[in-house]
Amino acid sequence: MPHFAQRMKTMEKSAQIIRNLFGAMNDPNLISFGGGAPAREALPIDIVREIVNDVMRVDKRGVEGLQYGSVKGLPDLREVVVSELLAPKGIEAKADNILITSGGLEGINLLCQLFIDPGDVILVESPTFVHCVEIFEMFQAKCISVAMDDDGMVAEDLEEKIRKHNPKMVYVIPTFHNPTGRTLSLERRKRIAELGSEYDVLILEDDPYRDIRYSGSELKPIKAFDRTGHTVLANSFSKIFSPGSRLGYVLADDAVSSKLCDAKSATNSHTSMLPQVICAEFFKRGYYPAHHRMICDLYRERRDTMIDCIDRFFPEGTKRTFPDGGLFTWAELPGGIDTTELLVESTGNPAVKVAFVAGEGFFIEGGGMGRNCMRLSFGAVSPEKIRIGAERLGNLIRSRLK
């Protein structure tokens, strides 16, 4: 057979991590703190049925849902993004600068299409979302990590790395960061936007969790502080509406926005129409505020249960984050425990049967970084099961320390 393109080799390692990550998650006998899926209760199934029932009775809307649409996305949905999702966060945008994507991840892919030539440097947080590293490596970018602390990406280290490596792009997940749950401080948000302008570097702000904040106070997106168009905001409807719908959006200034449409056209023409029609209607009919309150209450209870259980059942010396939103927390274990090994036992041992994501895969540096860490998702697990699972996992970890 003809040989594969170079990009398939550079992405092989992270593709393998992704395959492993998601492979083990589907065993129904597991209590899974693994995947990052929303709760089943957070899916608006009945509302979707009602909306489809209505819109498909109106011939024009039915055609809209099933016929070809525009590359940029459904005008109604782009308006919803502007008025319901961006304006309340302090971003004044035009619907023309919104591109609807097939999920938030596609926005990341398309921005790489626009800007990344082989060998270009992308700076990422340490740790970072491995699925995006897979994309960056498919584009043959060189990923270099920037230090994080409890306030997110460290701006001083970012500036130093920008000077040293002359990157094309900085990839940052500012709010309820994946995998750590940390949130970038306001001061750093401003500074990162400035650094993009100052050094002529793109800031790719990936912010899919920001809309599910259930404690603490709102922080403006980095994009709100961008004066030069260097920051591009990618977001998703996966956590606030439905992940299976694969709906996301990108906000970029004119020059980037128009090129994004070319790349989208050459990727899959446009995003699936019926999910766009349903999602736009979900907002326009006013379902979002109550739905949003409901899912925030749901996740707050699960977060509180998870934090409480870690504090009770995990061994002394465990560090964990306290996320003000999103779907997961991050724990660092004491005593040199290797979470990749731990996972084999915790999923295989019939008395435990608990899954999580081992930390190592989120660090691009390798060399054992994050080997004692784990991402614990609580979003899709009931409080009862969180208690059972965290106790079993805590006991297993304690037994390993003896």
In angstroms, the CA 33 to CA 191 distance is: 34
Assess 305 for contact with its own copies (CB under 8 A): no
In angstroms, the CA 91 to CA 305 distance is: 34
Angle at the Cα of 241 from the Cα atoms of 235 and 246, rounded to 5 degrees:
60
**Beta partners for residue 145, in sequence order:** 124
CB count, 10 Å around CB of 184? 25
Listing DSSP states for 235-260 in one string gives EESTTTT-STT--EEEE--HHHHHHH
Strands (E), 274-401: 319-320, 328-332, 354-355, 357-358, 373-377
Q: Which amino acid is at 356?
A: F
Considering the complex, state which of residue 120 and residue 332 has its C-beta at the smaller distance from its own copies.
Answer: 120
Considering the complex, state which of residue 192 and residue 337 has its C-beta at the smaller distance from its own copies.
Answer: 192
Choices 56-64, 146-154, 213-221, 367-375; region in contact with its own copies by CB under 8 A: 56-64
Assess 230 for contact with its own copies (CB under 8 A): yes
Choices 97-105, 170-178, 219-227, 297-305; region in contact with its own copies by CB under 8 A: 97-105
Considering the complex, state which of residue 32 and residue 321 has its C-beta at the smaller distance from its own copies.
Answer: 32
Considering the complex, state which of residue 172 and residue 342 has its C-beta at the smaller distance from its own copies.
Answer: 172
Assess 78 for contact with its own copies (CB under 8 A): no
In angstroms, the CA 160 to CA 141 distance is: 19
Considering the complex, state which of residue 135 and residue 357 has its C-beta at the smaller distance from its own copies.
Answer: 135
Considering the complex, state which of residue 60 and residue 402 has its C-beta at the smaller distance from its own copies.
Answer: 60
Near its own copies in 10-39, by CB under 8 A? 11, 15, 18-19, 35, 37-38
Closest by CA to 160, choosing from 144, 175, 174, 149, is: 144
Q: Token pair for residue 357?
A: 């994501």
Near its own copies in 34-53, by CB under 8 A? 35, 37-38, 40, 43-46, 48-49, 52-53
In angstroms, the CA 232 to CA 394 distance is: 41
Q: Smallest distance, Å, CB 142 to its own copies?
A: 14
In angstroms, the CA 289 to CA 273 distance is: 23
- Alpha helices in 152-210, H assignment, sequence order: 155-165, 186-199
Considering the complex, state which of residue 103 and residue 181 has its C-beta at the smaller distance from its own copies.
Answer: 103
Question: Which residues neighbour 335 within 8 Å (Cβ) at sequence distance 6 or greater?
Answer: 315, 317, 400, 401
Give the per-residue contact string, 126-145, with its own copies (x = CB under 8 A; - = no).
Answer: -----x--xx--x-------
Q: Token pair for residue 83?
A: 């008025």
**Beta partners for residue 354, in sequence order:** 31
Assess 117 for contact with its own copies (CB under 8 A): yes
Assess 75 for contact with its own copies (CB under 8 A): no
Q: Smallest distance, Å, CB 260 to its own copies?
A: 10
# chain residues binding its own copies, by CB under 8 A: 82
CA dihedral sign, ordered 292, 293, 297, 300:
positive
Q: Smallest distance, Å, CB 67 to its own copies?
A: 5
Phi, psi of 330 (to 5 degrees): -135, 130
Considering the complex, state which of residue 269 and residue 399 has its C-beta at the smaller distance from its own copies.
Answer: 269
Q: Which of 106, 125, 205, 207 binds its own copies (CB under 8 A)?
A: 106
Q: Smallest distance, Å, CB 200 to its own copies?
A: 6
Choices 90-98, 182-190, 240-248, 313-321; region in contact with its own copies by CB under 8 A: 240-248
Near its own copies in 188-227, by CB under 8 A? 200-202
In angstroms, the CA 390 to CA 195 distance is: 41
| SS3 state of residue 109 | helix
Q: Which of 27, 63, 150, 216 binds its own copies (CB under 8 A)?
A: 63
Considering the complex, state which of residue 161 and residue 182 has its C-beta at the smaller distance from its own copies.
Answer: 161
Give the per-residue contact string, 249-278, with its own copies (x = CB under 8 A; - = no).
Answer: ------xx--x--xx-xxxxxxxxxxx--x
Considering the complex, state which of residue 27 and residue 187 has its C-beta at the smaller distance from its own copies.
Answer: 27
Considering the complex, state which of residue 29 and residue 68 has its C-beta at the smaller distance from its own copies.
Answer: 68
Q: Smallest distance, Å, CB 208 to its own copies?
A: 12
- Alpha helices in 203-317, H assignment, sequence order: 254-268, 273-284, 288-313
